[in-house]
Amino acid sequence: MSSVLTDLFRSERQYQVPLLDMANHADEYYCHRFGQTDESLPPRIGAEEFQDIVQDFCDVVTEQSDIVKVISRYTPLKLAGKGRFYHGRCPICGRSAVGFLNIFPPAKHFWCDDCHASGNAIEFIQYVEDVDYIDAVKIQAKRLGIPLPKEIDL
């Protein structure tokens, strides 16, 4: 058992403080024991607040992503449909298939006629890079120069 835990249990017995109360005041004990201030500790956030921060960050990255620029990094696109659509070869289908990728910029949406992949810019990165949603958001945030929130470590 580490010396910090030993000191915690010893002080709990010495002062007859309930263990739950010690857990609630662990930050105060840590600050007192190691001479730090409360401001030097990282802020605590609850699970709901954490989810809100992550969701807000994902929404910001998705909103700022230009789907045409994202997809054109992976395949050349041509303007079509009286300037309303972009078309290109689908990089998701694979080299053997000739999938036809359609991009509709106002809706920030893409779809493939062959493999039936569809979604927004983040979902396209998921398909092409073969990563999960959070990693795709991190990739796109890095490209856009959007820093990760301090409160979370995605």
Alpha carbon distance 32, 148 (integer Å):
31
What pLDDT, in 10s, does the model give residues 114-144?
Answer: 888 899 999 999 999 999 998 999 999 999 9
pLDDT at 127: 92
Q: Which pair of structure tokens corresponds to residue 27?
A: 């930050």
pLDDT at residue 113, as a whole number: 87
Position 103 pLDDT exceeds 90: yes
Residue 109 pLDDT > 70: yes
Domain ranges across the chain = 3-40, 47-144
- What are the tokens at 79? 């303007």
Q: Is the pLDDT of residue 154 over 60?
A: no
From CA 69, how far away is CA 134, in angstroms rounded?
A: 20
d(CA 75, CA 108): 17
Q: What CATH number does domain 47-144 carry, 3.90.580.10, 3.30.420.40, 3.40.50.300, 3.20.20.20? A: 3.90.580.10
| Residue pLDDT, tens place only, 18-70 | 444 444 455 555 555 555 555 555 556 677 777 888 888 999 999 999 999 99
